Each structure stands twice: as structure tokens, then as C-alpha cells.
Amino acid sequence: MKKNVIVLIGLIIILFAVNYSFLDSLLINLFDEGEVVIVEKVIDGDTIVAGKVSVRLLGINSPERKEQYYEEAREFLEDAVLNKTVILKFGKEKQDKYNRTLAYVFVGNKNLNLEMVKNGFANFYFPSGRDVYYDDFKSAWEECEENLCERSADECADCIELEEFDYENEIVVFYNKCDFDCELTEWEIKDEGRKSFVFPEFVLGVGKNVKVIVSEEDVVDNQEEVFWRRKDYVWTDSGDTLFLRDSKGKLVLWENY
């Protein structure tokens, strides 16, 4: 018996050294049975009501009302969970600042939060920092090809490069590598959450850069610098992602840190 215990401890240590994320996930599945509830209502693509409590789905951010794919995201989640028994599994924080419960929603062994990303109805979103599921969500986004993940067909989609992403100083620089001008009017920059910037009437010339600066100051836009006016930060210290979309909402590029 004593020998078996020593062997078991040794195997756990090896697993920990080789793959911490795997061990962390294993422990969660073994010891965190979660909370069993029935879903009474689906608010949108990342919020439900279960057990008379508002639940915000962890790891994702879906389109807001009036945004593209809002209805599709809500309907996809509704079809998957409404009036069904689900298991809520919790992360680092159990509630957000709006007193909503934060959870991963499982139907059987299927993580519905992850399914939202796989099907292009949400982007991955970890404002409190990466957890055991982060790699799964990022991989799902990389492999996704429809809806929010659908690549832009704009002729300038292959022209615009992210030359600099200085998240500490809130500066982003894009470069036009093509031999023709690119109109970026109504192109959108977005973080993982709700913060977004839409280019005003703007043309990025051949071989030119444009610097997008987050600033509280009232400044004049020009062809070299565009100011994203905000009273607070955009890029989070715990890690974030930049998404650039064309005027039709299709994905041009993304970069995370």
C-alpha cells in the first residue's frame, strides 16, 4: 500500500513537471463537480439566467445588441442550453462587478463557452488573466472560419500589416505594404471586450504608416496619427487581443499578448 502511494505521488509530480495545464484541467474535472442548474433564459450570446441567477459565460465575448451576429449568437446558445440541465464550473473569480455569476457552462462533457468560439459567435476573452482553458479557446479561434472569424475579402486585407503593438503605451501602428492606396474608412479596431475604434474617413497611402494612439486629450486627426479618444485604458495588463475588421465586419488580422 505504501509503495503504491509513493508511485502515485511520483506520477503526479511528473505530470506537473511535464504539463501543468493538463494536470490543472485533470484536477478540475476530478474535484470540481460544479453546480447543476436549469437554464431558464438566454439573454444574449454570453449571458444566461439559470437558477434565477444571471450567469456571464467565462472566456468569451459575443456581439452586443445591434452588432453583426448578435441574433445568431443568441439563437445558437439558446438552442444549446435553454430549458436544459447544465453544469456551471467556476474560474478564478465567481462574480463580476455587475454581481453576475461567472462560469463555464457544460452540457454533458461539452463546454458551451468553447462551442461559441468554435462556431464564430464569440471571440475568446480573459480579462482577469489566462486560466486552464485559455489554450483551448485560443486554438478554437485560430481554427474557426465562419461568422466572426470569417476573413476579409477586401483587396486591402492582405496589404495592411500590424507594424507595432505597444500595449503599455496604448499605441498601435499599421503599415500599407501594397503599391496602391487603401481606404480604411469604417474599419474597426477592437479589443477582446467592448472597446472599439472605428476609422473616420481615412486613406492609408502606399508605403505609409498610421499610428492609432489612445488619448484623453482633444487632438486633431491627420494622415499620420489617429487618436482613439477614451478616458480610460484600452489594452489590459493581464493580456489582450487586437482585432482589425474591414467596413463589412470581416476579420483582417488579429494579434494577442
Residue numbers annotated as active site = 56, 64, 100
- Grid coordinates of 26: 485533470
- Grid coordinates of 108: 454533458
In angstroms, the CA 202 to CA 153 distance is 19
Terminus-to-terminus CA distance in the chain, angstroms? 47
Q: What is the dihedral of CA 243, 98, 65, 231, to 10 degrees?
A: -50
Are residues 148 and 118 in contact, defined by beta-carbon separation less than 8 angstroms? no
Tell me if residue 31 falls in helix, strand or coil.
Answer: helix
